[in-house]
Structures are given as structure tokens and as C-alpha cells.
């Protein structure tokens, strides 16, 4: 942003789309290993945008190429606790051949949307945060309290090289921070012309990624083998993939169903999942997985030649457990797998759940209502996980609040890790206005 642009009164709304497009064009695909192509470049881009308006951002590289950017904005009242606004710069990989409209790293604007990998997960929020911060600093509007902005590496693989690295090695960056906001919350769900609900993420499931191993007897493929590792593992994988874990309603999900039921004028029964989910439309995918623990097989590996029975077979499973139901989850897993399957955790993290109350929640509601008279904020649980898990170790109370007003027909849940990912241009501009109000109200 040049001095000329500033003189012309360029606002956060004016530049949020370009910021989002530029971030999408930086390929920050996270393949789940030590590599992180593009993360350093993205961290440097963010640092340049922050430095341009007078901040002194720092880049932290936890491993070659794996970089995060952090800056602190001084508030007008140093006696107040600070607020953390964090987002991740990495994205899941995208196969361009699967995308039917625009290439995944093009950042093209078409049909009223910005298209590309990361458009909703979560370079939209990164762009909104940058736009708001830049606008406020250009116009000399300091926040009421200190704000720490963090743009992080590696969230899509558990945060080891991003949030976890900073929490373990640079916790002084977050001195005085008591609350934080980040992704997958604050988006709208249209009930009617008179009511639009905005889902605030106050809970998220825990994760346990695991490797399953079965040992058998190696031998010639032409022989009869009762001790076949692939057969044993396949049966276990099929059992776990088809298992229906029992419905367990946490306080967050109960509150969500009650609020949604009131808005719909009906009572929603979590025990009747089919009927309940039919009422949820496009957000059914997000909500359905928060009614129980889950375990989904994602990878299989065995053998090296068609006529050789291998001595070992392995599989990977993505397991998620509800707050308060971790022990039940593992007990169910071991019963389903049986004694011949070795289970080994590859990455684990805790479940989170906080209450839907306090001044920060009130600030969310008031800032949404100011921009959308039909708005009502309600709590919900995220079936996935975020970097809030790492910041929780510092006592930072986390919420998902990346405000977007969405068209009712948009399959928002399907955008996450999906093809043809996109975010409405007007949704980005709405988010900038809401976040700006939220900072003043918080």
C-alpha cells in the first residue's frame, strides 16, 4: 500500500480481496512431512504487509522453510489483558485436475467469489485480519487493548512447526493474552429472512491419528495361508470404518441444538440423527460429526509383489473424540480392533470446550448485529481441530470467529479441504467490517 493509496482513503474493505488473492497464489501446501513449500514466502509476505503500516513483525522459522509471523499492536489501555488473533498460512494439497472451474492456486475472482485453495481454510481470515490491522494503523486507530496477531505454519498437520513451536519456545510473545479468536466460526446459517444464525466455535474434538499394524506369516502367494496380515488388517479396518459410535451430546452441542430448534420453531432430537441433520442443510457435515466419536480409515499399505504374501500390513486411521469422552473412545477402539491389531498413536491432541459467555462473546454478538440486523450468535462444536489446542496450554481461551455472511445456497462445509474452494467477495468485506467493530467492542 503506497502513500498515495493511503491519501486516497483506501480502506480494509478495498484491499481485502487482493490480500486474499495474493495469499492464495502462494502455494503453501502441507504434505504432512518436514517440507512446507511456500510457508516461508507467505510469512515474509505477511511481515511486509504489517511492516508497511509501522509494526515490527518477527518471523520464526522452526525448520527450514517452516515459518510463522507474529506482531503485537499496542492498545490504549495497557492494564487490560491482550487478545490473540491467529490464523494459519498452510493449506492442504490440491490436485488441479479435480478442480472444475479455476486452478487451485490462481486466486481468480469469478461469479462474485475468490477461488482457490485456502479461500475458506483459512486465507480468508488471514486476509481479513491483515486488512483490518492495516486500515486501523493507517488511520491511527489503536485498539482498546494489546492485540497479538499470529500467522502460523503447519496447522494442517497438527501445528508442530507452527503454534506448538511458538508455545513451547517463544511463549513470551503471548504475555498477557487471555483470549483468542481464529478459524471455523462466525459464519452464517440462514434460517429465514428474519433470522440468520452465526455459529461461534466454542468447542472442538480431540484428535488421535493412529497407525494400525498386523503381523502375519510371509509366504508364496499360491499357497493357502490362514495367517494373512492383509486379511486380518482389512477385516479390522472394515469393522472400524463401519462402526457407529454412540451419540453423546455435550453441553455445546446441546446449546446449539436448543438455539437452532428455537429458530426453526421445533425441537431437534440428537438421538434421531437422520431427521436432525436433514434440518441443517449445508452445515450438516460440520454438525453431524460432533454428535459422536469418529474413526475413519485413511491409508492402507502392505506387500511388495503380487505373488508374495507380506509378513506385515499397516493402516492409518483418523480418530476424533468428543470433550469428556476420550477414555470411552479408546476403549471402543480396542474392542473393535481386537487383540491381533497393534495400535500406535502418530499424533494426538486434546479436546476443547469453553462456555458461551463473557464480554468477548457479547462483543461478537454486537459486532455481528451492527452489520446484520437478523444476526444471532450461537455456540457450536467443530469436528476438526485448530491451533487453539496449543494456545490453550498458555491458558488462552479460544473461540472460532472468522465472520462471514454467506449465501444460503453455498455449501460452506464442503469448501473445507474440498475442490472448487471459494469465498464470496461480499463475505470478505462483511468480515472486515465485523472484525473492525469487534476489536473496538472487545
Kindly report the CATH number assigned to the domain that includes residue 210: 3.30.70.360
166: cell is 511458538
Four-residue CA torsion sign, 151, 153, 159, 163? negative
pLDDT of residue 8: 54
Residue 56 located in a structural domain:
yes
**Is 372 buried (19+), middle (13-18) or exposed (0-12) by CB count in 10 A?**
middle
**Is 84 buried (19+), middle (13-18) or exposed (0-12) by CB count in 10 A?**
buried
Task: Answer whether 282's CB lies under 8 Å from 191's CB.
Answer: no
Q: How many CB atoms lie within 10 A of CB 185?
A: 26
Shared domain for 262 and 325, answered yes or no, is yes
Residue tagged 502513500 (cell numbers): 3
Shared domain for 285 and 398, answered yes or no, is no
189: cell is 446459517
Shared domain for 19 and 151, answered yes or no, is yes
372: cell is 446484520
Which residue in 34, 83, 86, 80 sits closest to 61, CA to CA? 34
Instruction: Please give the chain's pLDDT, 442 residues, in tens.
Output: 444 444 457 899 999 999 999 999 999 999 987 776 799 999 999 999 999 999 999 999 999 999 999 999 999 999 999 999 999 999 999 999 999 989 999 999 999 999 999 999 999 999 999 999 999 999 999 999 999 999 999 999 989 999 999 999 999 999 999 999 999 999 999 988 899 999 999 999 999 999 999 999 999 999 888 899 999 999 999 999 999 999 999 999 999 989 988 888 888 777 776 777 777 776 777 788 899 999 999 999 999 999 999 999 999 999 999 999 999 999 999 999 999 999 999 999 999 999 999 999 999 999 999 999 999 999 999 998 999 999 999 999 999 999 999 998 888 877 888 899 999 999 999 999 999 999 999 9
Shared domain for 172 and 129, answered yes or no, is yes
Residue 110 located in a structural domain:
yes
Residue 376 located in a structural domain:
no
Shared domain for 171 and 214, answered yes or no, is no
Residue 375 located in a structural domain:
no
Going by the DSSP 8-state scheme, the letter that residue 120 receives in this structure is: T
Number of domains forming the structure of the chain: 2
Distance CA 128, CA 134 (A): 10
337 CB-side CA count, 13 A = 25
The SS3 of residue 131 is helix
Residue 372 located in a structural domain:
no
Shared domain for 292 and 178, answered yes or no, is no
pLDDT of residue 148: 98
Distance CA 26, CA 117 (A): 10
Four-residue CA torsion sign, 311, 31, 399, 165? positive
pLDDT of residue 4: 40
- Any catalytic annotation for residue 74? no
Q: CA geometry: angle at 29 spanning 23 and 30, to 5°?
A: 130
- Any catalytic annotation for residue 90? yes
Which residue in 257, 113, 156 sits closest to 199, CA to CA? 257
299: left (phi over 0), alpha (psi -120 to 50) or beta: beta
Residue 366 located in a structural domain:
no
Residue 379 located in a structural domain:
no
The SS3 of residue 5 is helix
From 349, 369, 398, the end of a domain falls on 349
Query: Which residues partner with 320 through β-bridges?
Result: 207, 294
Task: Answer whether 310's CB lies under 8 Å from 304's CB.
Answer: yes
Q: How many CB atoms lie within 10 A of CB 195?
A: 14
Q: Structural domain of residue 208, as residue ranges?
A: 203-349
Distance CA 429, CA 128 (A): 8
- Residue 262 has phi, psi (to 5 degrees) of -60, -40
Shared domain for 253 and 304, answered yes or no, is yes
Shared domain for 408 and 273, answered yes or no, is no
426: cell is 461480499
For helices 12-25 and 39-51, the axis angle rounded to 10 degrees is 160
Four-residue CA torsion sign, 181, 185, 188, 194? negative
Q: How far apart are the first and last CA of the chain?
A: 27
Distance CA 186, CA 149 (A): 18
Shared domain for 154 and 293, answered yes or no, is no
Shared domain for 300 and 391, answered yes or no, is no
244: cell is 457407529
Task: Answer whether 83's CB lies under 8 Å from 177's CB.
Answer: yes
CB crowding 345-369: b at 16 or more within 10 Å, else e: eeeebbbbbbebeeebbebbbbbbb
Q: How many CB atoms lie within 10 A of CB 156?
A: 24
Shared domain for 16 and 156, answered yes or no, is yes
Residue tagged active-site, from 146, 155, 156, 436: 155
Distance CA 299, CA 320 (A): 16
From 296, 331, 349, the end of a domain falls on 349
pLDDT of residue 272: 77
Shared domain for 220 and 101, answered yes or no, is no
Residue tagged active-site, from 13, 27, 90, 421: 90
Q: How many CB atoms lie within 10 A of CB 82?
A: 22
Q: What is the CATH number of the domain that holds 29?
A: 3.40.630.10
From 295, 325, 349, the end of a domain falls on 349
Amino acid at each position: 500500500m503506497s502513500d498515495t493509496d493511503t491519501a486516497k482513503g483506501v480502506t480494509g474493505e478495498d484491499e481485502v480481496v487482493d490480500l486474499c488473492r495474493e495469499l492464495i497464489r502462494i502455494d503453501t501446501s502441507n504434505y504432512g512431512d518436514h517440507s512446507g513449500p511456500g510457508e516461508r514466502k507467505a510469512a515474509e509476505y505477511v511481515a511486509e504487509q504489517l511492516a508497511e503500516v509501522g509494526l515490527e513483525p518477527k518471523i520464526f522459522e522452526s525448520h527450514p522453510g517452516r515459518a510463522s509471523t507474529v506482531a503485537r499492536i499496542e492498545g490504549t489501555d495497557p492494564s487490560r489483558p491482550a487478545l490473540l488473533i491467529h490464523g494459519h498460512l498452510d493449506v492442504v494439497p490440491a490436485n488441479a485436475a479435480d478442480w472444475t472451474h479455476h486452478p487451485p492456486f490462481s486466486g481468480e475472482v469469478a461469479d462474485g467469489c475468490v477461488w482457490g485453495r485456502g479461500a475458506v481454510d483459512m486465507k480468508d481470515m488471514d486476509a481479513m485480519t491483515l486488512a483490518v490491522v492495516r486500515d486501523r494503523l493507517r488511520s491511527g486507530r489503536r485498539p482498546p487493548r494489546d492485540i497479538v496477531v499470529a500467522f502460523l505454519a503447519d496447522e494442517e498437520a497438527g501445528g508442530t512447526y507452527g503454534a506448538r513451536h511458538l508455545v513451547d519456545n517463544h511463549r513470551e510473545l503471548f504475555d498477557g493474552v487471555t483470549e483468542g479468536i481464529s478459524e471455523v466460526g462466525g459464519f452464517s446459517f440462514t434460517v429465514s429472512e428474519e433470522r440468520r444464525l452465526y455459529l461461534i466455535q466454542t468447542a472442538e474434538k480431540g484428535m488421535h491419528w493412529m497407525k494400525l499394524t498386523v503381523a502375519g506369516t510371509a509366504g508364496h502367494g499360491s499357497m493357502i495361508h490362514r495367517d494373512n496380515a492383509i486379511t486380518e488388517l482389512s477385516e479390522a479396518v472394515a469393522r472400524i470404518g463401519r462402526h457407529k459410535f454412540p451419540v453423546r451430546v455435550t453441553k455445546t452441542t446441546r446449546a446449539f441444538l436448543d438455539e437452532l430448534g428455537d429458530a426453526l420453531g421445533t425441537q431437534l432430537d440428537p438421538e434421531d440423527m437422520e431427521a436432525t441433520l436433514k434440518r441443517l442443510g449445508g452445515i450438516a457435515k460440520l454438525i453431524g460429526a460432533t454428535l459422536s466419536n469418529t474413526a475413519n480409515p485413511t491409508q492402507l499399505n502392505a506387500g511388495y509383489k503380487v505373488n508374495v504374501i507380506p509378513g506385515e500390513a499397516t493402516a492409518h486411521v483418523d480418530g476424533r473424540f468428543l470433550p469428556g469422552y476420550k477414555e470411552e473412545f479408546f476403549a471402543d477402539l480396542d474392542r473393535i480392533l481386537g487383540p491381533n491389531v497393534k495400535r500406535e498413536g502418530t499424533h494426538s491432541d486434546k479436546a476443547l470446550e469453553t462456555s458461551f459467555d463473557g464480554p468477548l462473546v457479547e462483543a461478537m454478538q454486537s459486532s455481528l448485529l451492527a452489520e446484520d440486523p437478523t444476526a444471532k450468535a450461537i455456540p457450536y462444536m467443530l469436528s476438526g481441530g485448530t491451533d487453539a489446542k496449543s494456545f490453550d496450554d498458555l491458558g488462552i481461551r479460544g473461540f472460532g470467529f472468522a465472520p462471514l455472511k454467506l449465501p444460503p445456497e453455498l455449501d460452506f462445509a464442503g469448501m473445507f479441504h474440498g475442490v472448487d474452494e471459494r469465498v464470496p467477495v461480499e463475505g470478505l468485506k462483511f468480515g472486515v467490517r465485523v472484525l473492525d467493530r469487534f476489536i473496538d467492542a472487545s
